[in-house]
Structure formats: C-alpha cells, structure tokens
Amino acid sequence: MDSLALQIKNAALDMGYEKCGIIKVSDMYSYEEKLDERIERLPHTKPFYDRYYKFARIQESHPWAKSVVVCVRRYGKYKIPEHLKGMVAKYYLVDSRTDENSKDFQDSLSFEKALQDMGLRAETERKYGFTALRWAAIKAGLGIVRRNNFFYTENGSWVYLEAWLIDKELEAIETPNLRPCSDKCNLCIKACPSASLSQPYTMNPMACVSCITTFMGRDMPNERYKEEIGDWVYGCDACQDVCPMNINRWKEAEDFPYLEELSKEISLKKIIKMDYDFLENVMQPKFWYIPKQDVWKWKANAINAMVNNYKEQYKESIYEACKDSHEKVREMAEWAIHKLNI
Ligand code: B12
C-alpha cells in the first residue's frame, strides 16, 4: 500500500474510526447498476431513487476528485434510554453527523484537518453524503451488505459511514472476513412491519417506516401504513434488531452527550404537550430529518403510536391535541377519537 494511503488509514484509526478504505472515484460507477436493479424490481420507486444517480457520477459534480476515503464508525456502544427503544431509532438518538457536542463529530473534523495537513484537498458532505456510502464501503472491502441491505462489520450493522473526496488517486482495499447470510434466513424480511423489505437486497423507501415517520407521511390520517408503523415515532430498527448477526453486538458502554437529559422530555404524552419553541429549537436540530416547518409531525406520529397501542391514559392527551395550534395535529387527533370511538 502507498505510504500516503497508509498514513490516511492510520489517521482514521487514531481518530476512533473502526475501519478506513480508499477507492477510486470510478469504482462508484457500478452503484448505478444497483439503482437500476432496484428500480427494475420496484418501478414505482423510480422518482425516489432517481436523485441518487449523482452518487455514482462523482466526477460530474467534483471534477477535481480522484479517490473516495470511506470510514466506518461504531455507534452501537452508546447507552440508549430504555423508554425510547422501539420508539425512536437508535441511530438518530446518537446521530453525530451534525451534533457538535459529540466526540464523533469532532473526530470527523479532526480527520478532515489531518487529510488537509497531508497536502490533500479533502471535502465531505456530512448530512446525506456525496456518494453511496454502503457501496463505497463494500468496494473498499470494509465489510459486507446483508439481506436487509445493511452494511455490517464484525460489530454488526450498528455502524455508520462517512466519506471524503480527495484529489489524489490512491487505493486501500481490504478483504472482508465475515460469514454471509444464510439463504434460509428471512428474519429481517418477516420483521419489516410494512413489508418494505419484500425480498433480500430490496426495499421500498415509500413503504419504509423509517421514511414515513421522517421524510414522508405528511397526511397521517390517510397514511396507508399507519397501523404497520406500530410504536415507532421517528425511524425504525426492526430489520436490524432481529438480525442474528447483530446479537450481542450493541454494548451500552458510553453516554452520548445530553441524550439522558433530553430523553426525560420525550414520551408519547410529552410530545403532544411539547411547545413549538422546544420542538423547533431543541428537538429539530437533533432530529433534523423533520424540518422546522414540519415539527407538528412529531405530534401526529405520537398520536398514531397511541392509537396503535391504545391505553386509557392516552385519552386525555388525544383530547388535548384537538386544541393544538396546528391544524394537522387537530386533524390527526380528531381522526384518532373517531377511530378509537372514545
Ligand atoms: C436514501 C437513504 C435512506 C432512505 C432509503 C433507504 C434505502 N435503502 O435506499 C430512507 C429514508 C428510507 C433511509 C432510512 C434509513 N437509513 Co438511510 N440512507 C440513505 C442514503 C442517503 C442512500 C442509500 C442508498 O444508496 N439507497 C439506494 C439503494 C439502491 O441502496 P441500498 O438500499 O442501500 O442497497 C445497497 C445494498 O443493498 C447493495 N446491494 C444491492 N443489491 C445487492 C445484492 C447483493 C448480492 C449484495 C451483496 C449487495 C447488494 O447495494 C446497494 C447500494 O449500496 C444513505 C447515505 C449515503 N449517502 O449512502 C443512508 C444510509 C444507508 N442510511 C443509514 C441508516 C442507519 C438508516 C436507518 C437505519 C435509520 C433508522 N434507524 O431509521 C433507516 C433504515 C431504513 C431501512 N430499513 O433501510 C446508514 C446505514 C448504515 C449501515 N450500517 O448500513 C447510511 C449508510 C447512512 C450513514 N451515514 O451511515 N435511508
């Protein structure tokens, strides 16, 4: 391996990344085939997936870029408040992509600085990424993708990915040493509440609970999958939680900054009571998939979860939501009262 490639890899490991690999930008072309395959299998997902073709064609948007440095970082090490499990996806509770308080975020900045100190032009896109991160990590041989579409290392799927573009052609590729999924295992497919994961290596984002509770689902009373959403309020971990390759891979060893404090403010009943200032200025910066103008969605999602697993104690909250300042919340509460016949 080139000594600069080795220097980059070592810097990443020193900064707390579990793995780091480097591929040529042209190695990402083959991601286009994965998108084609996905659209062929589920043609109605075309409008959703069309926007990702740019992930394969990096050179069109970044003509200066020569290689992709892709890093894997473990998040399955943080303490997760018990009452939020099954309600808010774990990744989003410890999401460091925009959270300046987190060490992971600060390490990401330091790693970028280290790349620049090596004389490289190095750029990233911290929120959604500039390329297909799973595909980049597979190409770099850092792990494997399993039947639920998740990228796994020895630490299971509880890892997230980051990538930087650099202006030098380098390569650092590993050979993963992980046992593939058994052809007979369908636990993830069975566990997907809305059959979004209908076959291995395929999923329909429009039916995915994670997508409906965040980016989509702005008309909850008429949402097709509202029952399948079950107890989830933001995100979903169902296909990862059941995976045998994830057994004992989450070790609750470290605190994530301010998570314990914030978690005390979050419950279905508390969400319905939340004032809009708190939703916009405390919840939104952490859970940034729901934009500021749509924070009412938290309340609509909480009412939906109450309906799906109704308890007498929720009645008061649902009635209270009929007086909410946002029309969408009032509409959802009225739908719930009618549906529950309360
Ligand atoms: C779009 C997107 C979403 C969309 C759509 C998801 C989707 N699968 O397309 C929505 C909003 C639903 C979503 C939700 C979530 N996401 Co998301 N998302 C992305 C994003 C931006 C692009 C994903 C993408 O390329 N999709 C296109 C399709 C074609 O790719 P794919 O489904 O990932 O399939 C890959 C594999 O299946 C493989 N493949 C396909 N066929 C075959 C066949 C074989 C034999 C093999 C070996 C491989 C293989 O190739 C595909 C391309 O990489 C990435 C960030 C990024 N820039 O890459 C994060 C990312 C994939 N998301 C991530 C996470 C954590 C989530 C959530 C778990 C959060 C949550 N807990 O709620 C959920 C999970 C939902 C789910 N069940 O998949 C992580 C995944 C980390 C990991 N360990 O895999 C990523 C990488 C973000 C990150 N920075 O780490 N996400």
Three-state helix/strand/coil letters over 68-80 = EEEEEEECCCECC
Q: Are both 162 and 279 inside the same structural domain?
A: no
Task: Name beta bridge partners: 68.
Answer: 23, 165
Kindly give the distance from the C-alpha atom of residue 278 to the centroid of ligand 1, in angstroms, as a whole number. Answer: 30
Cα(262)–Cα(297) distance, integer angstroms? 18
In a domain, 203, yes or no: no
Domain boundary among 136, 151, 166: 166
Range of the domain at 88: 3-166
Indicate whether 217 belongs to any domain. Answer: no
pLDDT in tens, 157-170: 999 999 999 999 99
Pull the structure tokens for residue 56.
């394969």
Q: What is the pLDDT of residue 33?
A: 97
pLDDT at 286: 98
Confidence at residue 153, expressed as pLDDT on a 0 to 100 scale: 98
User: For the chain, which residues score pLDDT lower than 70?
Assistant: none
Ligand 1 geometric centre to CA of 76 (Å): 17
Q: Of 105, 134, 166, which closes a domain? A: 166
**Same domain, yes or no, for 145 and 276?**
no
Radius of gyration of the chain (CA): 21
Other beta carbons within 10 angstroms of residue 253's beta carbon come to 9
- What is the atom index within ligand 1 of the atom nearest the CA of 192? 77
Spatial separation of the C-alpha atoms in residues 99 and 106, rounded to whole Å: 9
* pLDDT at position 1: 77
The reply to whether 100 falls in a domain is yes
What pLDDT, on a 0 to 100 scale, did the predictor assign at position 197?
98
Instruction: Name the closest-CA residue to atom 75, ligand 1.
Output: 210
Could you give the CA distance from residue 259 to residue 95 in angstroms, rounded to a whole number? 11
Domain identity same for 146 and 285: no
Distance 135 CA to ligand 1 centre (A): 9
| DSSP states of 127-191 | TT-SS-HHHHHHHTTS-EE-TTS-EEBTTBT-EEEEEEEESS---B------PPPPTT--HHHHH
Indicate the number of domains in the chain: 2
Q: What is the pLDDT of residues 297-306, one digit of tens each?
A: 999 999 999 9
246 HSE (CA, 13 A, CB side): 24
- Residue 253 lies inside a defined structural domain of this protein: no
List the residue whose alpha carbon is closest to atom 42 of ligand 1: 201
For ligand 1, atom 68, the nearest C-alpha belongs to 237
Ligand 1 centroid vs 305 CA: distance in angstroms?
25
> Are 162 and 272 part of one and the same domain?
no
Ligand 1 lining (C-beta closer than 6 Å): 31, 34-35, 38, 52, 89, 91, 128-129, 132-135, 145, 149-151, 157, 159-161, 201, 203, 205, 208, 210-211, 215, 235-237, 239
Closest-lying ligand 1 atom to the alpha carbon of residue 135? 53
63 belongs to a structural domain: yes
Q: Which of 155, 119, 132 is nearest to 8 (CA)?
A: 119
Is the domain of 21 the same as that of 144? yes
The reply to whether 218 falls in a domain is no
Residue nearest ligand 1's atom 25 by CA? 132
Domain membership flag for residue 244? no
Domain edge (last residue) among 117, 151, 166: 166
**DSSP SS3 for 234:** strand
Contact 157, 149 (CB under 8 A): no
Does residue 114 belong to any structural domain of this protein? yes
